[in-house]
Amino acid sequence: MPASADNSHPDRGLSILTGTAGGPVVAMEEGLSFWGGVDVATGTVIDVHHPRHGVSLAGAVVLMPTSRGSCSGSGVLLELSMAGRAPAALIFSEAEDTLTLGAIVAAEMFGRVIPVLRLPAEAFATVAAAGTASISPDSVEIEGLRIPVAQPPPHALALEARDRAMLDGTEDPALQQAMRILIAMARQQGAAALTDVTRAHIDGCIYAGPANLVFAETMEGLGARVRVPTTMNAISVDRQNWQAQGVPPEFGGPAARLADSYVRMGCRPTFTCAPYLLDDPPDSGEPIGWSESNAVIFANSVLGARTAKHPDFLDLCIALTGRAPLAGAFLDEHRRARRIVDVELPDGAGPEAWPLIGYLAGHAAPDRVPLLRGLAGARPSQDDLKALCAAFGTTSAAPMLHVEGVTPEAGTMIDASADRVVITRAQLAEGWARLNDGPDAVDLVAIGSPHASLAECRALADGLAGRRRKPGVAVIVTAGRQVIAAAEADGTMATLRAGGVDVIPDLCWCSISRPVFPVTTKTVITTSGKYAHYGPGLSGCAVRLGTLDDCIEAALTGHAPPRQPDWLF
């Protein structure tokens, strides 16, 4: 048998979450984000960019190196579990947090067991080639071959007196439940201790289905109250206007209840997926407990704050206790670049270069922190870095990146063993062609994934220059309440309204649903690399990445032919 990541059991896999299961094997060479990548109603892969697009994961033994993308994947897995459409088991070859946490919550709170295993490379490849697999607490069996698995080796998780007090329930049952989940995650991560955090950001307020609501209201019913300042991600409805917008009450009602439950637990109703745009972003070195993939990557990379990429549900546990596993990007060793990516960026590149670079950098470093070189001369703005981090998070599992000459730790956090790859000019052109491909007739212009900044709202308003969108073409911006208030104050909102632009608070493109998403839409154009990736699976429409000029042309004429930006020629 091959070597394992567990040195005490070199011939065995690890049983991260023990159970019994079996089913057909669905093996993936590429990681998958369950949010935006798996249909919660069927368990089918809907990520059109993934090699296993269209394959059903329901009842299957699913193998992938690790997951990637959205922190909300844990909520999707819980929803699939509660509805009887989850994978029978999950097998990884690398460390994985998001789906593992979803499985922990399903077992811990609802008695739904999805075994989670980690296999060494050769054993993983052997199971991946099999037709079916059976899993028991001590083995994986495939076609007459038995691969032993063992519990992870015991290690000392140092709990302070206050941790033990929360765990034994002397304070309240919500803290006890939160600590049980936190400790289960800390142990599977190999954390030696828990650490204090100064603030939290909740991603689990997005409504993936009834399971999200059951979790939140169960915790609220146990008396849960956050003990550190806690912001909230974009939710799934415009909280004040969803009924007037025609959102069906069977969706809008539970989605609003979910948001309200978190607010009653003490979270601030910020409802933004870009909490770093708020008035009080974290400081360099500040330990925080954030969820939401783009926010985590921006906080670590651009602000120099410290947070692991916490899955949904763990975010609330952190907010309730003020504690997080001391693992991942809290530690220097997991912040070091282990791959140097040289980017051949042509002169004159516009803002559209940054989501493209982030998307390709994630493919170049799907499982490790990269250092991007060759970009400092382009002098990226905060919005450029926002787009870079968000797109990177769709294609990589890493919690951060470095940009030489730009981000604060780029000169110090480089591993001595880091290898090198290049993103060539030809690869930039090919990547743009792939993401920009689609019909030239456009029905919807989508701005704000992550939420638009005030500068982005102004740029759109300036680009319209007093002209009005063509009838039949929708132009929608999603933005946080604070940004919208600032845009009202400086007249930007009035200009956008005069141009026929709708600016919607609270929800984001990755959580928008019909009829707020116009029901007749067939083709969408966006400036967001994140939404260009997730949008086709989430909306069922063609979604193209374009320049801001492309988006303005589409708004005014209904057409934006696929084409490369001038700087790529």
Catalytic residue positions, numbered: 70
Token pair listed for 354: 């940054």
Nearest residue to 19 via CA among 74, 89, 122 = 89
Residue 15: phi and psi, rounded to 5, are -95, 95
Q: What is the largest CA-CA distance in the chain?
A: 71
DSSP letter at 567?
G
Number of H helices, E strands in the chain: 17, 22
Token pair listed for 199: 């603030």
Residue 435: phi and psi, rounded to 5, are -80, -20
Q: How far apart are CA 144 and CA 142, in angstroms?
A: 6
Q: Are 482 and 42 in contact (CB under 8 A)?
A: no
Q: Are 567 and 356 in contact (CB under 8 A)?
A: no
- Strand-strand pairing, 132-136 and 414-423: unpaired
Provide the residue type at 451 as one letter: H
- b/e 280-313 (16+ beta carbons within 10 angstroms → b): ebbeeebbbbbbbbbbbbbbbbbbbbbbbbbbbb
Nearest residue to 341 via CA among 301, 376, 370 = 370
Nearest residue to 533 via CA among 23, 27, 31 = 31
Token pair listed for 338: 């282990």
Q: How far apart are CA 228 and CA 200, in angstroms?
A: 7
Helix/strand/coil (H/E/C) assignment for every residue in 413-464: CEEEEEEEEEECHHHHHHHHHHHHCCCCECCEEEEEEEEECHHHHHHHHHHH
Cis peptide, bond prior to residue 518, ω within 30 of zero? no
Q: Is 93 helix (H, G, I), strand (E, B) or coil?
A: coil
